[in-house]
Structure 1
Amino acid sequence: MLYRIIKPFIRVALYFFFRKIYLNHSEVYAIKGPVLITANHPNSFLDAILIGAFFKKPIHFLARGDAFKKPIHRFFLGLLNMIPIYRLSEGKENLYLNEYAFRASKKILEDDGIVLIFIEGICLLTNEIQPFKKGAARIALDYKGKKPLQILPLGIAYDRFNSWGSTVNLHAGKTISLAELLPFDDRAKNMRYFNDSIVQSLNRLIVTPLNAKPAQNRIVKLIGNLGYIIHRWFFLGLDSFVRRKTQNTVFHDSVLFGTLFILYPILIVIIGFCLISLFGLKMILPLLGILVMARCIVLVKNPNE
């Protein structure tokens, strides 16, 4: 429920956070379940936020279990349709909890829902495919729903990491029927064939975007310079803080996006209130529009380039 409420705001925020988001086959994002989305995992929670924001139907995500350690984190991540799944590196004592993740995923699919699993099971801030785990194949093998299960490979690639104002490609492939991916009577053979088939699909779908600067006329350039001056202190200061807090982790972009999602509207409200107090409402509304527009255009002057 919470995710449905904030989803439109997340989509707007993503277009503020990224320079450009490319989507192919827009009709795919209206797909109905049961669907198991198998995606690569280059950029932590930001991958799930991006994918979930553009599908019309609610998506449940399998997310790394160490993010659910604190009860408050578990509560809010659960509200965002995230299901914890644990790796061996997070402790053998937690592996039994994965049974809950697989049961929950199975029920969602059998109720005609959509489940997203990052098939590599690891995030390394790279667009290169990592060795696949068996979780996606296991979910597919255990599916017992009445409707045919569709498998949707989806590639995601960024032009850079640990940076706001980047460009991202979301490339969805063609859906694959479960029968095509599980042709054998042997479970182990089916798991290997499933992963090999998805590897071939994702290799074609992961396309690193070119970091091209958009053309600008004089007015756009002027607004961009204004946005750069107004926002520089806020964004660079916040980015520096997040870098310190997420040092030696893969969470920089995810934490920065989440922090901006909460704090940037507050900044606009504060600036608007101050300007209204000084100049009045009628004079300030157009300026606030320019201020927000300037935030979008300031991405062309990203100091991380």
Structure 2
Amino acid sequence: MVAACDESFQREGGCFRQGGCSKATTICTERQQVCGFYPFVLLVEEEARFQLQKGSRLSLFLSFRRKNRSCRNLIFPAVLYRLLKAYARFTVRICFRKVEINKPQWLKANGPLLLACNHPNSFLDGLLLTVLFEDVVYSLARGDAFRKPWHGKLLRWLHLLPVYRTSEGVENLEYNYTTFAACKAVFRQGGMVVIFSEGRCVNEWRLRPLRKGTARLATSAWEDGILLTVLPVGINYSAFRTIGQAVKINFGQPLSREDVMAHRTDGKMFLSFNESLRLQLETLVVQLSPDDHKQRKDAFFSPVPFFQKMLLAIPALLGFVLHAPLYAAVKAVTENYFDNDHYDSVLISLLMLGYPVFLLVIFMAIGFFVSWLAALGALVILPFSMWSFVQVKPQAW
């Protein structure tokens, strides 16, 4: 396969393939070392396995010193990803009332695995799957988010790979070949990738027409001999534009490789693939009228036992009072600048970014004016009170 080499990728460290990039293209070898954004964590893990097999921990350390300049800082992105994933998992548990999963055994699955999902809530969909799965998850994201070099570098550190649409410039479509090659590199290493088969995000309770991107990636991997599992996933939210939603994540059955690859032309393979995927997603996605609140309540209502309400009442009230300034500020910014289908994702992201600062301010204030022991207690009480409020507050329909 020939993959285009983006100039921005070269600026960030060049091609990891020995010899670098040649003009505008690079041949993806059997190792699938893809130009410019070879999966960072996999590089480190592959090197670690090789060195440990030799029985030398010292050589593992020294090997990174001998790497070329592009590979010297591979450990930092890996550590950053792990830390942010742990913190995001903590945030999700606080900000969502309940996350219900029909087949939780899939969360421990090994790759190669392609998660073919609907896309109702922007990058919050990918965030949920990333924190729920135990293994490392790579997600495909809209290409215009990678335009600025430092944006692209940070997003690739977080295991996001760009996918360009025609609306983002026809000249960028050739870079999708590079992204698909990177996905197959992940598959060859036994990893997993999230792709949103509808193509774009819309806050609604229905399945929209599927694009061909998922079919292209899956059939290309199968043709290359990769034993890829394609798993349909339905992501469903009880409400939008708020916190404390109930979420249902429904996993389907793996698609049949034999049925799809039995067709002789790409067009028929894509049609067969999309039809099989659509039939499953229609049963996994909760499809409702936006004005039918009763139907939505029946689908998502999560009752709180009376005893739990009584037990959490005081912490919930405390959480509401203490967190009201932070939530009001974050909500105002989101409504002024992101009053669209990205609302929930931006709201949660701003809360994630602002909450450590909020806790630090409270910690320092209590430490200086009361005691440092009380300040340490506040670091436990504040998140618990926020969680209590989310659990007790009335569900939005």
TM-score normalised according to structure 2 size: 0.72
Aligned twin of 1:261: 352
| Corresponding residue to 1:250 among 341, 344, 353 | 341
Aligned twin of 2:238: 159
Q: Is the 8 A contact 1:24 1:170 kept in 2?
A: yes
- Are residue 99 (structure 1) and residue 177 (structure 2) matched? yes
Q: Is the 8 A contact 2:187 2:226 kept in 1?
A: no
Q: Over the residues paired in the alignment, what is the CA RMSD in angstroms?
A: 2.0
Q: Which amino acid aligns with 1:219?
A: L
- Are residue 229 (structure 1) and residue 330 (structure 2) matched? no
Q: Is the 8 A contact 1:39 1:155 kept in 2?
A: yes
Aligned twin of 2:20: none
Please state how far the C-alpha of 1:194 moved relative to its aligned partner: 0.4
Q: Which amino acid aligns with 1:99?
A: Y
Q: Which amino acid aligns with 2:342?
A: F
Aligned twin of 1:27: 105
Aligned twin of 1:18: 96
Whole-angstrom distance in 2 between the partners of 1:303 and 1:112: 40
Aligned twin of 1:116: 194
- Are residue 282 (structure 1) and residue 373 (structure 2) matched? yes
Whole-angstrom distance in 2 between the partners of 1:62 and 1:244: 27
Whole-angstrom distance in 2 between the partners of 1:284 and 1:39: 43
Aligned twin of 1:42: 120
Q: Is the 8 A contact 1:110 1:145 kept in 2?
A: no
Q: Which amino acid aligns with 2:155?
A: L
| Deviations 1:232-277, CA, capped at 9 Å, x for gaps | 1210221111121112x32221122222112102211211221122
* Max Rg structure: 2
Q: Is the 8 A contact 2:319 2:382 kept in 1?
A: yes
Aligned twin of 1:219: 311
| Deviations 1:154-185, CA, capped at 9 Å, x for gaps | 11010111222211111112223422333322
Q: Which amino acid aligns with 1:167?
A: A
Whole-angstrom distance in 2 between the partners of 1:27 and 1:232: 37
Q: Is the 8 A contact 2:122 2:345 kept in 1?
A: yes
Q: 1:302 to 1:97 in 2, by over 3 A?
A: farther
Whole-angstrom distance in 1 between the partners of 2:95 and 2:150: 26
Aligned twin of 2:141: 63
Please state how far the C-alpha of 1:278 moved relative to its aligned partner: 2.1
Q: Which has the higher contact order (CA 8 A, sep 6+)?
A: 1
Structure 2: stretches of 5+ with no match in the other structure: 1-77, 287-295
Structure 1: stretches of 5+ with no match in the other structure: none
TM-score normalised according to structure 1 size: 0.93
Q: Which amino acid aligns with 2:369?
A: L
Whole-angstrom distance in 2 between the partners of 1:4 and 1:177: 33
Q: 1:82 to 1:205 in 2, by over 3 A?
A: same
Aligned twin of 2:272: 193
Q: Which amino acid aligns with 1:210?
A: F
Aligned twin of 2:27: none
Whole-angstrom distance in 1 between the partners of 2:226 and 2:168: 35
Whole-angstrom distance in 1 between the partners of 2:376 and 2:335: 34
1:134-153 to 2 correspondences below 5 Å: 134-143=212-221, 144-153=223-232
Whole-angstrom distance in 1 between the partners of 2:234 and 2:349: 22
- Are residue 241 (structure 1) and residue 333 (structure 2) matched? yes
Percent identical: 32
Please state how far the C-alpha of 1:65 moved relative to its aligned partner: 1.0
Q: Is the 8 A contact 2:229 2:254 kept in 1?
A: yes
